[in-house]
Amino acid sequence: MQMQLVDKSLGSPQHPLLLAPTRLRTWSRPGGTCGDGEGAGGVPHPIPSLRPPAAGTMEIVYVYVKKRSEFGKQCNFSDHQAELNIDIAPNPELAEQFVERNPVDTGIQCSVSMSEHEANTERFEMETRGVNHVEGGWPKDVNPLELEQTIRFRKKVEKDENYINAIMQLGSIMEHCIKQNNAIDIYEEYFNDEEAVEVTEEAPSAKTINVFRDPQEIKRAATHLSWHPDGNRKLAVAYSCLDFQRAPVGMSNDSYIWDLENPNKPELALKPSSPLVTLEYNPKDSHVLLGGCYNGQIACWDTRKGSLVADLSTIEFSHRDPVYGTIWLQSKTGTECFSASTDGQVMWWDIRKISEPTEVVIMDITRKEQLENALGAISLEFESTLPTKFMVGTEQGIIISCNRKIVCTFSGHHGPIYALQRNPFYPKNFLTVGDWTARIWSEDSRESSIMWTKYHMAYLTDAAWSPVRPAVFFTTKMDGTLDIWDFVFKQCDPALSLKVCDEALFCLRVQDNGCLIACGSQLGMTTLLEVSSGLSTLQRNERNIASSMFERETRREKILEARHREMRLKEKGKAEGRDEEQRDEGLATDLEALVSKAEEEFFDIIFAELKKQEADAIKPKPMPQQPSSEEVQVAQEGEEATGERVGDEEEEDLA
Amino acid sequence: MNKWTNTGQGPGLLISSVPGPTATGLGEPQAEVEETLKRIQSHKGVIGTMVVNAEGIPIRTTLDNSTTVQYAGLLHQLTMKARSTVRDIDPQNDLTFLRIRSKKHEIMVAPDKEYLLIVIQNPCE
């Protein structure tokens, strides 16, 4: 077979058996027409042959010749070296007809192209069913229900040699273990009788469990909290704005009851006519709540009846100022309560007839029952174990202890007493919070508190004892911190100090189990905290230690008080003596007398302080200052009392 | 001096562990099996004994049927699982014994290629 390369353009003589090339692949310039088709089936290998560019197409043609007799003959393939058939050099002139495109952005992918498709499966129903097992495993010819057949099968197996060998072997292993079991109990607990010594070394800690936010847009402060008496699953929070006449317009009056499980939405809203300052659950009947309003009225709710007020006191007979304290009384009917307000009155109510109070007591410490002299009451305390006594903390920093009438007063705070609570284990001692300190008092010691904290940087707003540990109490401050004090552990600092939020914390309530604490802030956020178990479980000997601490401090105060009284009596005695002399001399003018009286009082206070310091330091202190010539007389009386050697010298000088 | 002589004993007084041909036709090796199982059952604290074959069919048991069937099925699966666990960890290893101690008693399983011997015992407390 001959193959000839034919260049059509040259018009060379054609072989008679030339096959005219028909459809051939053509290459064309961009913009030109595309050549059509592929090479025809009979063209084995198009070897490009160039035609000079004319009419815009280039035809590459391969022509070969085959003898007719060789048609259908088998192919004899042979191998030969690569031959360069054609070499088309680039024609640089062609480049001028093109514009270079740079960069060229083409996507190249070497993998299978895939597409994303979503499918939504149809829901199919599932059902849970039990399977009733029937005895299985029996071979086909044995019917498990037929006793005869099963017995026969079993007998057959027992005759099997494998069976016998297996049993003998397994039997010996098994016997070994059985005997082992019988010999020794390998899981015996040793030292079971000894009590596990519990040493809780963990540091006290508390963590926030939940936060309940005021759903209202205009935020109000959470001023009072009350736990639900049964089960403690609910919390009642009273919201109001305590800034005097600065309640924003449109502020809602609602207060809420929250369910601890659902912090997103309050369980019930209580709608009074004026915002609630305090709110208390009735410990006897958990559906009834008592609220003290900002306008001085007392309102009560029944949660079964809905969120509107069930009963409201008449405004003429109510308080004239916001009701800051409401407490339920222990009575047989469970309907009695009393309330206190800064208008100086404490009123008793029976909620069955709430239109007017059953009794009114005026907090006038001069005992003249004058409303003008009355002190505004801010906090109220009532201990159910002492049914007739109650205590009132006033705006002026004085605590009044009453037994339906005023009995005695305790003074010691510089500012309003925001919290007042008796120790649940030792009711004779109570905790107060006011100004920048928290103080613990004993009923026996009237002049001063027996224990007190240092002066803090922020005002203290509320305090509560822990119901499980007699030595632990909690305080909240205006800078948003919650302090947990444990005075059997540390006396000068709180055992734990937590920053709960950035705004001030206004109120605090501990749940009966001593573990959960709820505190309310200025922006209406109530935070629920859980205290570590070390702070909420009674430690060994804690009660003894706490009671001995209280007694010790009380005794100390009593001693100081006694000494102080002695001092004062001595002062009085001396002062009276000197005064008489002065009068005889006829020198005293009103002004001078007043001045000397003032100086006396001043020195009395100083000496009392000195005495205290002396008692603490157990060392004689130096004189406070050099007295001026005018005050020599009075000073000398004082010096007599304090310094030993120094006083004697002065006396001698005088004499 | 008394001399104890072994007076001739009649065949009736022969104490032998080989029982004579009985109605069930047990041979000697089978008698040993019986004895072994009886001995196991008579140990202190043993509540029940059973022999289960590879398909979970109880061959021999001292407990009632429903309990037996339950134990057989469940323990069979557990033993298989335990054995495969042991062999997965080390293919040259094999399970020799399985003990399950529960609050009330201890279940002991001795596995074999074809059979399982299960004993429930109350360990001495």
Q: What is the pLDDT of residues A404-445, one digit of tens each?
A: 777 788 887 888 888 888 888 888 888 888 888 888 888 888
CB-based contact A135 B69, cutoff 8 Å: yes
A180: contact with B, CB 8 A cutoff: no
CB-based contact B110 A159, cutoff 8 Å: no
Contact A388, A382 (CB under 8 A): no
Q: Is the pLDDT of residue B13 over 60?
A: no
The radius of gyration of chain A's CA atoms, rounded to the nearest angstrom, is 51
Contact B50, B61 (CB under 8 A): yes
A200: contact with B, CB 8 A cutoff: no
Residue-wise pLDDT tens digits, A227-269: 888 877 888 888 888 777 777 777 788 888 888 888 888 888 8
For residue A170, give the nearest of B56, B110, B124 by CB distance.
B110
Peptide bond into A103 cis (omega under 30): yes
CB-based contact A178 B69, cutoff 8 Å: no
* Span A160-172, average pLDDT: 88
CA angle A484, A487, A488 (to 5 degrees): 125
Distance CA A320, CA A343 (A): 6
Higher pLDDT, B27 or A467: A467
Q: Which residues of A touch B112 (CB under 8 A)?
A: 166, 169-170
Lowest mean pLDDT among A19-28, A80-89, A378-387, A559-568: A19-28
Instruction: Find which of A40-54, A207-221, B6-20, B95-109 is predicted with most confidence, using mean pLDDT.
Output: B95-109
Instruction: Give the residue among A342, A321, A329, A335 at the shortest CA–CA distance from A381.
Output: A329
* Span A126-133, average pLDDT: 73
The full set of domain ranges for chain B reads 4-121
Tell the CATH topology of B4-121: Beta-Lactamase (3.30.450)
Q: Is the pLDDT of residue A490 over 50?
A: yes
The pLDDT assigned to B119 comes to 93
Q: Residue A61 has which token pair?
A: 């043609």
Q: Which residues of A touch B39 (CB under 8 A)?
A: 171, 175
The full set of domain ranges for chain A reads 206-538
* Percentage of the residues of chain A whose pLDDT score is greater than 70: 80
Strand order in the sheet with B106-111: B58-61, B46-53, B115-121, B106-111, B98-101
Q: Residue A556 has which token pair?
A: 């100390």
B125: contact with A, CB 8 A cutoff: yes
Instruction: Find which of A32-46, A503-517, A529-543 is predicted with most confidence, using mean pLDDT.
Output: A503-517
CB-based contact B123 A177, cutoff 8 Å: no
Contact A287, A277 (CB under 8 A): no
DSSP letter at A360?
E
Residue A544 sits at φ, ψ, to 5 deg, of -65, -45
Residue whose token pair is 């734990």: A496
**Single pTM value for the model:** 0.50
Lowest mean pLDDT among A25-29, A231-235, A334-338, A562-566: A25-29
Residue A616 sits at φ, ψ, to 5 deg, of -70, -50
User: Which top CATH class is A206-538?
Assistant: mainly beta
pLDDT band at A21 (very low <50, low <70, confident <90, very high): very low
Q: Is the pLDDT of residue A477 over 80?
A: yes
CB-based contact A170 B112, cutoff 8 Å: yes
Instruction: Find which of A131-145, A435-449, A576-590, A607-621 is predicted with most confidence, using mean pLDDT.
Output: A435-449
Angle, to 10 degrees, between the axis of helix A590-617 and the axis of helix A542-585? 150
Contact A435, A412 (CB under 8 A): no
B103: contact with A, CB 8 A cutoff: no
CB-based contact A171 B125, cutoff 8 Å: no
B101: contact with A, CB 8 A cutoff: yes
CB-based contact A170 B117, cutoff 8 Å: yes
CB-based contact B108 A174, cutoff 8 Å: yes
Distance CA A200, CA A275 (A): 45
Chains A and B: how many Cβ contacts under 8 Å?
A: 94
Residue-wise pLDDT tens digits, A77-117: 888 888 888 888 888 888 888 888 888 888 877 888 788 88
The pLDDT assigned to B18 comes to 44
Instruction: Give the residue among A211, A207, A208, A241 at the shortest CA–CA distance from A520.
Output: A211
